[in-house]
Amino acid sequence: MAGYWYEYADFGWEIAYNIRRRKVEEVSSAFCSKDNCKTKLNIRRTFWGRYLYKCPRCFTEIKKDESVSTFRNMLEKIADAELKRTHKNDKNSGY
Ligand SMILES: [Zn+2]
């Protein structure tokens, strides 16, 4: 299992993947991407049905229409495509 940091939609994410199976295992919750803060964000639903992401460390606030699970779902697809591209010509990866 390996992982990497990925910045997407104003947030930082940790993407864990299984290199042998070329499969994304897990996408983390949203982290603060400001000035290398990397703190896990608090998320709450606003009165207007939007989502407020707030950093407990530096108090950065970001509003989004998408929930964290929506983003994770999108990231899973993006990371999956990235794995396929990266390992397309890798003939020694166990396959
Ligand atoms: Zn922060």
CA 69 to chain centre: 10
Cα 36 to middle of ligand 1, angstroms: 8
pLDDT (tens digit per residue) in 6-36? 999 999 999 999 988 889 999 999 999 999 9
pLDDT (tens digit per residue) in 54-69? 999 999 999 999 999 9
Query: Which neighbouring-strand residues pair with 56?
Result: none
Position 56 in a domain: yes
Instruction: Indicate the pTM of the whole model.
Output: 0.85
Q: Is the pLDDT of residue 71 over 70?
A: yes
Backbone phi, psi, residue 56, to 5°: -70, -15
The total domain count for the chain is: 1
Range of the domain at 72: 2-86
Position 49 in a domain: yes
Cα 58 to middle of ligand 1, angstroms: 4
Position 91 in a domain: no
Given its phi and psi angles, is residue 47 left (phi above 0), alpha (psi -120 to 50 degrees) or beta?
alpha
Cα 23 to middle of ligand 1, angstroms: 30
Cα 41 to middle of ligand 1, angstroms: 8
Looking only at the bridges linking them, the beta strands covering 2-8 and 11-18 are antiparallel
Per the CB < 8 A criterion, the answer to whether 76 and 24 are in contact is yes
